[in-house]
Homo-oligomer: A and B are copies of this chain.
Amino acid sequence: MASLKMRFGIRLKSLRAERGLTQEQLADATELSIESISNIERGIFGPRFDNLEKIAAVLNLEVMQLFEFKK
């Protein structure tokens, strides 16, 4: 199975799209660079815990929901 980073990235991309946000808008709101958002969504790296919190807050979700994906 794909790595957690990959699955998380796909999940994030999906959640962002649902909300009609661009990577740039999410980057601004989370105070991350657009490049970081891109890297996270492509599974290049997984965000640190502090950024997990920021991302969930911007998407108005519990952190748990960011990890809600099929096996």
B-binding residues in A (CB < 8 A): 3-5, 8, 45-46, 48-50, 52-53, 62-64, 67-68, 71
Contact = CB atoms under 8 A, between A and B. Distances in A.
A48 B46 contact: yes
A4 B8 CA distance: 17
6 contacts: A4-B63, A5-B49, A46-B49, A46-B52, A62-B67, A62-B71
Given A3-B49, A4-B63, A67-B67, 14 more contacts: A3-B50, A3-B53, A4-B50, A4-B52, A4-B53, A5-B49, A8-B49, A45-B49, A46-B48, A46-B49, A46-B52, A62-B71, A64-B64, A64-B68
